[in-house]
A = this chain, B = another copy of it.
Amino acid sequence: MPVTPLKNDIFLRALKREPVPYTPTWLMRQAGRYLPEYNATRARAGSFMGLAQHPAYAAEVTLQPLERFKLDAAILFSDILTVPDAMGLGLSFAQGEGPRFARPLRTEQEVNKLEVPDLSKLQYVFDAVSLIRTELDGRVPLIGFAGSPFTVACYMVEGQGSTDYRLIKSMLYARPELLHRILEINAQTTALYLNAQIEAGAQAVMLFDSWGGVLADGLFQQFSLHYTRQVVQQLTREREGRSVPVIVFTKGGGQWLEQIAACGADAVGLDWTVDLAAARRRVSDAVAFQGNLDPIALFGGEPAIRSEVRRVLDAFGAVGSGGHVFNLGHGISQFTPPEAVGVLVDEVRLYSPQFHDGNK
């Protein structure tokens, strides 16, 4: 693959806490159901997995939000559950419902049979990454991603989404060694999976620890952060002659910020419950931060969106030796009016340059 020089690398530079002219922006789940063009492609693909498993479709929807909005990064269209699907758990998405596994892990026997899968089963993901890189043609960097070992394990044990995580926590409390075995295998697989995405062309990677925040203090560190750190430490950190930054995001992890920031990642994603000024002080700008607008602020109408965007940028303040990537504190809601995203991006571009003194 010929390497096209990046025309806009400010996302990558902000993650490395290098000077940039304005605060770069992308949104979690930016290629998604709030966009009519996404829904049209999904209808043609027939299903969510039809989209994710066909590189041409995955590339098409990955690029859609970039056509509408001045975003500074693209993120691979895929799902964190491709990994356990490759492990043989049988993923499906029922219409209007969340993901389900046909063969969740509940018994010792089921856990003992779990193995690091043949990564060729995920070739469709790596093909999508390569194709997207080609189609992006250097416009903005491409982010690869995976779920954290614990978050993926939640789905593997529960078999679907949960409100109380009773099955996985019961395993954690009653048979911790079984959960540790799952997490070890998830960590090994996830490191291989992300490195293959980097090899295929991902220019930054993000680990989504969506459910680490449901664990008790002390157990979060043992059952989630420990394995996230294992993954981060095995990642390829340089490729195509430049650094491949790593972002770790634990939803609800604000209380553990110092510990998360020490896991080896370049940047930490923060949800909207965290004060960015306090977060910077707590870690002395040792990492960049990504976030942290409440996704529901996008339902407030234009004046409220602009004012809430400014509140986030004001909280971070003068960027100095820190790094800030503007984002939501969680994935964008499927009910979001698309024009609200335009307002958000516009306000970040208008209001953020004052916080950056290192203009290109």
Contacts and interface: CB of A to CB of B under 8 A. Distances in A.
Contacts of A308: 173, 216
Contacts of A172: 300
A299 B252 contact: no
Interface stretch (A89-97, A110-118, A270-278): A270-278
Interface residues of A, number: 37
A2 interface: no
Nearest to A308: B173
Interface string A204-224: 000000000101111110000
B217 A299 contact: no
A255 interface: yes
Contacts of A245: none
Contacts of A296: 164-166, 169-170, 173
Interface in A308-346: 308, 311, 315, 329, 333, 335
Interface string A84-116: 000000000000000000000000000000000
Given A164-B296, A174-B299, A273 B304 contact: no
A213 B273 contact: yes
Given A255-B255, A299-B173, A216 B166 contact: no
A165 B297 CA distance: 11
A315 B295 CA distance: 35
A165 B335 CA distance: 13
A294 interface: yes
Per assembly, the copies of the chain total 2
A73 to B, nearest CB: 23
A274 B164 contact: no
A301 interface: yes
Contacts of A255: 254-255, 273-274
A213 to B, nearest CB: 7
Contacts of A297: 169, 173, 216
B272 A217 contact: yes
Contact of A174 (B166, B170, B304, B333): B304
Contacts of A273: 213, 215-217, 220, 252, 255
Residue among A166, A169, A172, A296 with most chain B CB within 10 A? A296
A140 to B, nearest CB: 27
Residue among A254, A294, A295, A315 with most chain B CB within 10 A? A294
A103 to B, nearest CB: 22
B170 A300 contact: yes
A301 to B, nearest CB: 5
A59 to B, nearest CB: 29
A133 to B, nearest CB: 33
A215 to B, nearest CB: 7
Contacts of A335: 166
Given A174-B304, A219-B294, 14 more contacts: A164-B333, A169-B297, A170-B299, A173-B299, A174-B299, A174-B300, A213-B273, A216-B294, A216-B308, A217-B272, A217-B275, A218-B275, A218-B315, A255-B255
